[in-house]
Chain A
Amino acid sequence: MSENEPLLSVHDMEKHFPVTAGLFKRQVGAVKAVDGVSFEVFKGETLGLVGESGCGKSTTGRLVTRLLEPTGGKVVFEGRDITHLSQGKLRPLRRDMQMIFQDPYSSLNPRHTVGAIVGAPFRIQGIKTENGIKKAVQDILELVGLNPEHYNRYPHEFSGGQRQRIGIARTLALKPKLIIADEPVSALDVSIQAQVVNLLEDLQNELDLTYVVIAHDLSVVRHISDRVAVMYLGKIVEIADRKSLYAAPMHPYTNALLSAVPVPDPKARRDRERIRLTGDVPSPLNPPPACRFHTRCWKAQEICKTVEPPLEELSGGHRVACHFPENAPVAAAAPDDAAQA
């Protein structure tokens, strides 16, 4: 997989939203929602993007699909720089890059029938289908597990899980190469969540799709991803294949995230050793200097407040941005006697 050219690569991507004040809308600051993010996505894989609210994961998704324009860096899709393409030039690209949204209630137009919603991509892109759009739409509905006879129904006649399937059907209509799913299951009930996760996996195998899945739920991300990137305050702090990230996380933040997830095992709660972070995520308007995690990190030292750690590869494909990584190979010697509070 990795010897191929990446389908999507992102270099040092930035998005700073200006904060203005006064009569002349003078810029007084910037919300650094995404602040120098680089990663690649290869064909056929799933990259998971996790982090807490405000870490910039959704903005990253929107920048990659160019729903927002980056203020810095580069987005390359299939070898083509799309960072600053105009809307007109982007339109043909939308066929190859689609998005699944979080909320199946607000992402579907309540006045349009399912047929109109799922058929819209064909009409917008001016694509001719062999047996008409209706037939094509019904095929897709069937593919995502909906009844093709529901073609003329409206979104309110469906349950949350079914609506999310409609959203997925719309995404799949033009057989895209890359799908960005922003919290695809977080609005759904547990039993329905599992159905949609399985559906996404089946579709990936069947249609050879590539996913970027953005989610805050670490267990869902582990289940569907091949590689996982952890974000904190606009930066990627750790990126690795799923197995090494979950089995041997190196960044203290990843460790803290994993240990904070409640485990459905009443006996384990007593014996589990935990890392408890104090406080909340700082504001991206005024992020801490150097390592952004140092204000909450129990391993922080002087250097963390002055020198920003680069995202370095410490073992095969496992990159981490930390001066004192845990579970690190011996070469990157750092005293690993963290007093876990």
Chain B
Amino acid sequence: MRKLVMLIMAITLSVSHLWAQERTMTGKVTDDKGAPIPGASVIVKGTNSGTTTNADGVFSISVPAKATTLVVSSINMQDVEIVIGNQSVLNVTLQTSAKNLQEVVITALGISRDKRSLGYASQNIKGEELANKGEVNIVNALQGKVAGVNITNASGGAGSSTNINIRGISSFTGSNQPLFVIDGIPISNDVDRTNSGPNGTLGDNQPANRAIDLDINNVESINILKGPAAAALYGSRASAGAIIVTTKKGGSGKGKAEIIVNSNYSIQSAFGLPKVQNIYGQGAGGVFNSTTNNSFGPKFGSTPSIANGLIVSGTPVANYNAFPDNINDFFRDGNTFENNVTINTGDAVRNQTFSLGNVTQNGILYNTNFKRTDLRFGANAPVGEKMKVGGSITYTNTSQKGTIGGNNSGLASLLGLARNIDLTSYRVNGTYKNPNGTNNYLLPGVDNPYFDQYENPLTSNLNRFTGYANVGYDMFKWLNISYRLGGDIYTDRRKQIFAISSGRVPTGNVREEMFFRSEINGDLIIRATKNHLFLDGLSLTGLVGQNINQRKFQDLAVQGDALAIPGFYNASNGSVFTVGSGESTTLRRLVGYYGQASFNYNNYLFLELTGRSDQSSTLPKDKNTYFYPSANISFVFTDALKIKSDIFSYGKVRANYAKVGRDADPYLLNNLYVSEAFGNNVASFTFPFGTSAGFGASSRIAPIVLSPEFKTSYEAGVNLQFFKNRVALDVTYYSEDSKSQIINVAVPPSTGFSTFTTNIGELTNKGLEITASATVIRGKNFTWDLNANFTRQRNLVVSIAPGVDNTFIPGSRFTGSVASFKTGYPYGVIIGNVIPRSPDGQRIINPASGLYQPTVAGGILADPNPDYQFGVTNIINYKAFNLGFTFDFTKGGQVLSFTAATYKARGALDITAVDREQPHILPGVILDAASGKYYPNNIQISGQTNWSNGMGGLQSEFNVFDATVLHLRELTLGYNAPASFTKDLKLAGLHFGIFARNVFYVAPNSPIDPQLNTQGAGNIRGLDLQGVPNARSIGFNIKITI
């Protein structure tokens, strides 16, 4: 019994009971290089009495007379047992346990566990591996570092959204983003979209995923729980995995305050823009036309004539020459300046931490920025002997300024900009607007891209409080009760402006919008342990708990349209308030009960059983309770079979089974009526009409019955370590099956509706995850560590509903390239129109036109799912220098690029100038009606027709590209100033570094960086909808520890 208690204590380093004092011992704990190890645990063997070392690695401990041995341990070090004898001063050297032998990880509900006991895959990343790399979004910072995780950002715009999926997609229409948990409290990683109306639907860049509010500097570690087994205790919400973030606590130095100052500055630039031609300018058919954005006009340098349009009303067109950088120069160098001060005091039991952080980022687009300031205070303290209280509160203010992209936006018109348009001079001379403030551009109905940037901003200002309070009470030595109450509340105030004369909103509008989200989460956890259960060496830790969760959301908007006074952006300036104004509120509650039994046999065989029963407000009242179990087993066979050797240091096999239930979204149970609207961005109508309301049936048909959906998962894995743990390998295979999903399944529009809510469908995921790490070289002055991860994931839509072959994924969709799920295909294929093919697979040409035959609807245009992905991180230390670099590679998958399509159809892409004036013949065959045979196409068409009609069209299969890409994601070089130097400055540490992110990429089969996903966080992938390009970042950082 005591042993187990002691074990837990040793691991959590959280309790220090004092034994009957007999004598005091002191000493210093150092690593094999002689550096002090702060926070190491020193325990009297056979007792639960212990202490931890201070910042200088020094400890002082009272030991009873009969004590014989001290156990000294520290994270990532091999334990050492020291015979006390009659010494009073003990200096201990710990050897690095290269690979996680005693790795403590934070698992579900914030419980610290020895990784060896876990029967499921999880991957731990340290905060310091993510911070100081010029990346403000914590999700982006994880790119390339975690097996089984797919991360794609929407763009390089300031504060853009990032999608993260763990082990692929398992819910057809629900969220597949993992649950973010900070210090045991679930927080929102939602995306709140402004203007899902006609001005923002297509190609709109999504605002940030709200995990962006997290300051990476505050992160101690992140543990990624990949499968349902790992996250079973979190219930429904973690069915897509969980990202468990543990923030830094005070107490790294015993009784001594520590001040850490961290600063970094970096510069961002747009990268990955397609290559353009600079031979032909504005026009069509070789004739100049000043009102088109297409570059199919005459060759630069042509003699002006009336025929080629370069003489208009008797005068030659001025400045008809190429502006080769007219697209590149639209972007500027952005910069990011990040500062963080952290003050830690106290020890492992009683501690305080305070931090203040700020990031200011000026985006790569003019007049865009991202700013975040966060203030955090956390403390832990014992109350009496048996009670501990702790808590933390973080205030974050995040502000963002950007523009809305999409149809008719300046950003869309920038793509493949006609080669002779001198865009930059509009900015330099301030002539993007007329003296009266209206849009000035040579293309009718389109915003000057600078006008959009400067005059049509979307701003966001978010205030967020996240915090928790925790009370733990050791009722008995073997029983602990704790209650943790957490909250995450934010209000995001947005303002979107469209100036009068904007292409999309000619009469101008002002939209004031407020998003409110709050989540309250309470967990009651009762934990008990029993050692020597039935037999020696078998211990049991039991846990029962109850969870209450409430989530509230409100979106409140007032929109003033048809502005009276130019440049006055208060809603009162509008004359119509019925378009886009409104309120949407949701409230959902869940009560869950859970239990867990963890058996440990001699610290090499572990079995864990869990069960959870949830009751959700979103399900029909008589069917709102659902139960789901999990079981996992872990067997450290090297210990059990005593086959540990210098070569084979550690071996563990693990397996698990889990089932997880999931509730519905709120308010799905009834048929509803909505205030109707017609049309889209080119013409629309909104009710009320004068004083007449206009309601109608919602396009969704309510379910007849609805029950929770379930996902079943099996997983098996092995951990192997070799050469005294210098080489480690972790292999996981999993298979998941999600059934009876709650889907708004598409029905044919001719039913009068677009979807029907029902429980239906089956989706499977199978995958292989490998992580490998090795200390390639370990010398006195030189070490080289290598971490690699590999992911192969296969997903299959087994069935949807009887008679339903495919359904669109909810979200904005562009008919003709609809992200969908289709029976027999992986999730997320883009369904669109495909050119018919001959029996031998060649595209068929229409003999009447020389172009392709009319496309056939419902074909698979693109499949965004990659074949496999891997990432490699190298860290090389040489004396005080360290060099790190991370590559990630994605093989396969496809992206449909509207960006590339636009460049091409507008005649701006470099290839469109090749042999432009020669006749073109599209690759394909023609059906000879008489013989029924196909012969090769021989119909000549013009270069323009070839590019803008034959291979043109935003949604053409010619704009689908293989997304294979290699990124050098990260490059860092650091220098730790020597102690001799820092001592003189009275500093505890000084670190300099330079870093680069998105250094380069190689995408052999794509004209753009295919790792872009305009839709950001969500289930729609594989679409580049004329978004902002990715950004490259280069900078330096300095970290001072006092």
Q: Do A and B bind each other?
A: no
A contact set with B: CB distance below 8 Å: none
B contact set with A: CB distance below 8 Å: none
